[in-house]
Amino acid sequence: MTFSPDGHTMAAASREGPIQLWNVTDPRRPTPSIRLLAGARGHVNAMAFSPDGEVLAVGGDDMIVRLWSVAEPSDPRLLVSVPRTSASYIQTVAFSPKGDTLVVGSDDGSAALLNVANPARPVLMGWLGQRNFTSSVLTAAFNHNGRILAVGRDNSTLEVWDLAEPKHPKRLARVRTGPGHSTHLVFHPIDGTLASANTDHTVSLWDLRRPGDPRISTTLTGPADDVFAVAFSRDGKSIAAGGHDRKVRIWSTDASQAAAAICTTAGRPLTEEEWHTYAHDLPYRQAC
């Protein structure tokens, strides 16, 4: 399931392959489109809308990327079917912020880069990694300017790539993600923070301000099972995640909101003695 950037259209795939578009302008009264889209011969594993919401990319078990024109959701039109981007099941598709590049990750360990400036005539620019089947590419995400691409694999590694020249991508880093692997990656809409939903029941926030040296800045806990979806709010001040425990959790990423919540919970400011116990050498001040 995925939503268009304007939030008015939802695409939902079934295990049998067809995709249903829904008009969710009024979320209380969703309206299905009359025509179903052919998703894949087999399971649909990945869908993504272009940034302008006019193209839907679909990938699945049949190893074919389909690009649909959904500028008129009531009358979707197949633009092109792109074979041979992978040698195994497609697991993820993602558009760059400008909509001119599409990454296609698969079980064969590679991630294909397509030039989709003309979505009816995509051009294969190359691959990230090798088709060695040693690890699957499960998720990929572009940062806000499209220059940095993060790739998550099922061998618990995170790769960071420089796509300043998409025909000549450069890998900047490869790091371990921890005991679990990333199932879904998404960048903060403004800064260099990357959120990763993980199979170790956590959400990791990675500091990618220095893309060549990614580091976990915060680990969000609470889920009781694997986490499979994560998303920032449009203003970047909150983050939501959900997974196998069937709960959606929302955290604030706004420091002032977090401080206000702590003060409300505590009910009073720290005494000087408590301050020096926890803040050590920092000069005492009223925190609330």
pLDDT given at position 161 = 97
pLDDT given at position 231 = 95
Classify 170 as helix, strand or coil: strand
pLDDT given at position 286 = 75
pLDDT given at position 262 = 67
Residue that is last in its domain, among 101, 134, 167: 134
Q: Tell me the CA distances in angstroms from 49 to 67, 70, 218, 224, one per residue in order.
A: 10, 9, 29, 30
pLDDT given at position 281 = 72
pLDDT given at position 171 = 95
* Domain-embedded: residue 193: no
Residue 263, Cβ neighbours under 10 Å: how many?
14
Which structure tokens are listed for 213?
């040296």
pLDDT given at position 178 = 84
List, for the chain, all residue ranges whose pLDDT scores fall below the cut of 70: 130, 132-133, 255, 258-259, 262, 279-280, 287
Give the integer Cα–Cα distance in Å for 232 and 247: 16
CATH code of the domain containing 32: 2.130.10.10
* Domain-embedded: residue 259: yes
Residue 270, Cβ neighbours under 10 Å: how many?
18
pLDDT given at position 264 = 76
Angle value at C-alpha 234, between 208 and 25, nearest 5 degrees: 145
pTM of the model: 0.87
Count of structural domains, the chain? 2
pLDDT given at position 87 = 86
* Domain-embedded: residue 177: no
Which structure tokens are listed for 254?
């706004």
pLDDT given at position 38 = 82
* Domain-embedded: residue 262: yes
Supply the range of the domain harboring residue 48: 1-134
Residue that is last in its domain, among 134, 164, 196: 134
